[in-house]
């Protein structure tokens, strides 16, 4: 690509693309729903093939959706224990699988609210699940 972009050529192409696709920064809920529909259609088209030419468009549309969700639809506040339960469910883990916390009995007490996670456990869980340790505080 030429390092010098001719804006006078870019803007008409952009306007045509935007009019044809509706792909642009999301400003309202109706546009958000249309963008989700576009993303689903793109994902169906690519069939999970990372080398498909439409994958770059999947990334762009996905980023626009994520930007909207982060600013307009914040995640609900949860406790560290709720986050731990959710992650255990998502990963198909049982209490006995969380050796970094302690024994199954210790994990049971933590999940029941009878015991709190200590800083070592919080760090270990963050590392295990690839999330910020603050998730569990």
Domain positions in the chain: 7-72, 80-136
pLDDT at 66: 84
Contact 95, 104 (CB under 8 A): yes
* pLDDT range class, residue 53, cuts 50, 70, 90: very high
What average pLDDT does this structure show over 109-123?
A: 92
Specify the CATH architecture of the domain 80-136. Answer: Orthogonal Bundle (1.10)
CA-based end-to-end distance of the chain:
48
Burial 23-47 (b: 16+ CB within 10 A, else e): beebeeeeebeebeebbeebeeebe
User: What is the pLDDT at residue 73?
Assistant: 63
By C-alpha distance, which of 49, 60, 74, 52 is closest to 22? 60
Give the pLDDT band of residue 19 (cuts 50, 70, 90).
Answer: very high
């Amino acid at each position: 690509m030429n390092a010098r972009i001719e804006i006078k050529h870019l803007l008409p192409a952009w306007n045509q693309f935007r009019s044809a696709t509706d792909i642009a920064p999301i400003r309202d809920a109706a546009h958000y729903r249309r963008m989700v529909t576009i993303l689903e259609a793109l994902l169906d088209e690519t069939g999970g093939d990372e080398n498909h030419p439409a994958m770059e468009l999947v990334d762009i549309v996905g980023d626009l959706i994520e930007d909207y969700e982060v600013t307009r639809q914040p995640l609900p506040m949860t406790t560290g224990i709720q986050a731990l339960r959710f992650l255990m469910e998502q990963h198909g883990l049982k209490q006995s699988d969380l050796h970094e916390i302690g024994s199954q009995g210790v994990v049971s007490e933590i999940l029941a609210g009878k015991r709190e996670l200590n800083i070592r456990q919080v760090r270990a869980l963050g590392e295990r699940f690839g999330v910020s340790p603050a998730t569990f505080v």
